[in-house]
Structure 1
């Protein structure tokens, strides 16, 4: 019964802010995509608007971590459930570093290799995180399970 209660709490939270998060993220992506052609003049504005699309994702990860943290009071578990939030922020910073490197003109074709490595690395870290935390807490609900429940 414990696992079902965890799923229910996480699904209830995920359904609450799903529309607002999607609208803000989509608006941010559209505005950023529209302004990217003027990046030479409005570089900081474009990057700022692009960052707004990640804010809802970071808030969502933080709140999911808070809900998940209430399921187990182990100090190690408490730190680990916050890891997706920090991975999201680190991924954003790395993305902006890679984009800055590309914008400087010295990147060349290796930019795409680095960008692909960044994406694959973040995916790999998430999978490794799931395996580690499932060993610590067998009732942990992964994001994959949560998305399956939302459908």
Structure 2
């Protein structure tokens, strides 16, 4: 989901609710403690340099159990971040505390926002020598063969 998508959805909602893919809801007294831009400049195992930019929301729950973030308030937080940080329309990544800080993609099911589990992946599969049919089928194999030059 892009920032423009959430800005279109929020005005039609009575409440802002986030749910993990496993069905668990983020406690309704959560706060959005950060809205920002995360830029990642990196090289993949095939030697290609890449850039990623996401809009980041950080969710946090405290002991103020009566707190409720209303849609209009979140719209105002987003507008302020656009003005002060120059945030552009990009995919949203949500940080939320579970056993450790988790990073999630964001979706909407018509009623509430879904924190979708993110997965790692090899971005240079053509360099790693992984046969397509064997990919992710055996956890004991490595991404790269010793002579592929990508590890």
Identify the TM-score tier after normalising by the shorter chain. under 0.3
Structure with more of its chain in strand, by fraction:
2
Q: TM-score normalized by structure 1?
A: 0.24
Q: Which has the higher contact order (CA 8 A, sep 6+)?
A: 1
Q: TM-score normalized by structure 2?
A: 0.24
Structure with more of its chain in helix, by fraction:
1
Give the structure with higher Rg (CA): 2
